[in-house]
Amino acid sequence: MPDADTAARTPDLLRPRGSNQVGMRQFNERTVLQALRVHTSLPKADLARLTGLSAQTIGLITARLEEDGLIVKQSRVRGRIGQPSVPLALNPDGAFAIGIKVGRRGAEWLLIDFTAQVRERHAISYDFPDADALLPAIAKHIHRLRDGLGPIAARNVGAGLAAPFQLGGWHRTLGLSKAQADRWNQMDLLAEVRARTDVPVSFARDTVAACVAELVGGRGHDLKSFLYIFVDTFVGGGLVINSHLHAARTATRVRWLRCRRSR
C-alpha cells in the first residue's frame, strides 16, 4: 500500500498512454500492465491502440513481460475478420502483495495476487491494540503469508500497511490509559514494522489506502471521477477526478456522535 505522496502519483498510470521514446521501458511496461488490468485481456493490436505505442514496441514489451511471467497468452479468438487474435492477460501468479490493516478493534492481513484477488486472509480482534503484542504479530503474519507461497515466494513484491489517523485517540472512551494512547500517537508505525521484517513495507492512512484500492481494483475501472467515503470509527474519504487521486494535505475526520437513549 503506497504512502500519501506515492498514492497521489500512482493513478497517473490509470489512464494508460505510453511513449515511444528511448529510455521509457519501465514506464511503458507499467502502462501495458495497467491497460490489461483495466480491460482484463487484450490482443496486441488493441494494446497498441489504447496506449499509443507502436505495434513493434508492444511486441517487444509483451515478449519481455511474458518471459518475466507477468502476463500469459489466452486461447485464440476465431470467427472475426482477419487473422485470429491472441488475447493477453495478467498472470495471477505473476506477483503478490500483502495488505495489512491495523485498526482500533482488529487487524487484518491479506495475500493479494497480480489480478487483485485475495488468496488468503487472517484476522484478529482486540479491545485495543497492545503494541508489544501486535507489532510481533504483524511481522509473523507477513512471513507466514510470504512463506506460504512456497517456490514462488520470491514473487512477493512487498507489503502495504494501513492504519487510522491518531490510532491512540479516544483513549478515555475506550478505557485506555494515557500512556497506552501516547505510545501509539508517538510511534512511527512504518519504521517499527520495517524493523521486524525483510519484506519491503509502505504505508498509507486507511482512508487513502481504501480509495486507491477502489481506484485500482474496484469501480475505478468504470468511473473516472468519484467521491469515496470511508466509514469506520471515524469517517474519511478521497476524491478522484479523471482517474487521479486528490489527496488532502491535512487529515480530517468526522467524529461519530454517541447517542444515548433518554430515560
- pLDDT tens digit string along 54-89? 999 999 999 999 999 999 999 887 666 656 689 999
Q: Which range has highest mean pLDDT (110-114, 129-133, 166-170, 219-223)?
A: 110-114
Crossing angle of helices 25-39/55-67, nearest 10°?
Answer: 80
Residue 255 has pLDDT above 60, yes or no: no
Domains of the chain with bracketed CATH: 4-90 (1.10.10.10), 96-210 (3.30.420.40)
pLDDT value of residue 107: 95
Give the confidence band of 18 by pLDDT, cuts at 50, 70, 90: low
202's enclosing H/E stretch is strand 201-205
Chain mean position to CA 70: 17
Grid cell at residue 247: 489527496
| Overall pTM surpassing 0.85 (yes/no) | no
- Summarize the confidence of residues 249-257 as an average pLDDT: 43
The residue type at 224: K
Three-state SS for 134?
A: helix
Three-state SS for 262?
A: coil
